[in-house]
């Protein structure tokens, strides 16, 4: 099974010229979902990972499954104002404006080994912000794993240049 064949492409969403890579079709296919999780975990099996951090929202689905497979805890990284306890935040730039991501202050202990998981890496802005948030909390980020890479946008390269090892399963040309 080729995972790329199970991912739906929606042209001109959310704006003209964008080819949106929709992994909900992969998530809805039991075999493909299992294979994606297994492939995300495989390079890190046997490595002691304390926590998996998933970026809202599809990163929660994938990250939870990866954490289960690795016998690790799970850290939800959420948009500002969505977590109920005391949080730490990092702001990051978007194409138009900015956004913020938060996690609970007690989500990670200094020195814990953390794997970052999300569905897709494009420009890398969100993943870099997540890495910054985790590093500020004292986490040691041992890997960042994504189902989809859009290499022309350079996000995986930016994250790797920031010292975070990157693993992806499928690459699509274009945006």
Single out the catalytic residue among 21, 58, 102, 112.
Answer: 58
**Residue in 70, 48, 55, 38 with CA at minimum distance from that of residue 129:** 55
The CA R_g of the chain, rounded to the nearest whole Å, is 15
What token pair was written down for 31?
């075999």
Residue 58 appears among annotated catalytic residues:
yes
The answer to whether residue 95 is catalytic is: yes
- How far is residue 155's CA from residue 175's CA, in Å, rounded to a whole number? 12
Sign of CA dihedral 126, 154, 69, 106: negative
Active-site hit among 8, 78, 88, 95: 95
Q: What is the DSSP letter of 80?
A: T
For the annotated catalytic residues, the residue numbers are 58, 95
């Amino acid at each position: 099974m080729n995972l790329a064949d199970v991912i739906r492409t929606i042209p001109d969403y959310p704006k003209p010229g964008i080819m949106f890579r929709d992994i909900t079709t992969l998530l809805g296919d039991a075999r493909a979902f299992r294979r994606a999780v297994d492939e995300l975990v495989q390079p890190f099996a046997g490595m002691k990972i304390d926590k998996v951090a998933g970026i809202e929202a599809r990163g929660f689905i994938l990250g939870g499954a990866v954490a289960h497979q690795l016998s690790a805890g799970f850290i939800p990284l959420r948009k500002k104002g969505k977590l109920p306890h005391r949080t730490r935040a990092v702001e990051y730039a978007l194409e138009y404006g900015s956004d913020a991501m938060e996690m609970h202050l007690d989500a990670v202990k200094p020195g814990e080994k953390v794997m970052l998981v999300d569905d897709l890496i494009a420009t890398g802005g969100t993943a870099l912000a997540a890495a910054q948030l985790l590093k500020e909390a004292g986490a040691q980020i041992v890997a960042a794993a994504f189902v989809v890479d859009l290499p022309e946008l350079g996000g995986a390269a930016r994250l790797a240049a920031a010292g975070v090892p990157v693993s992806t399963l499928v690459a699509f040309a274009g945006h």
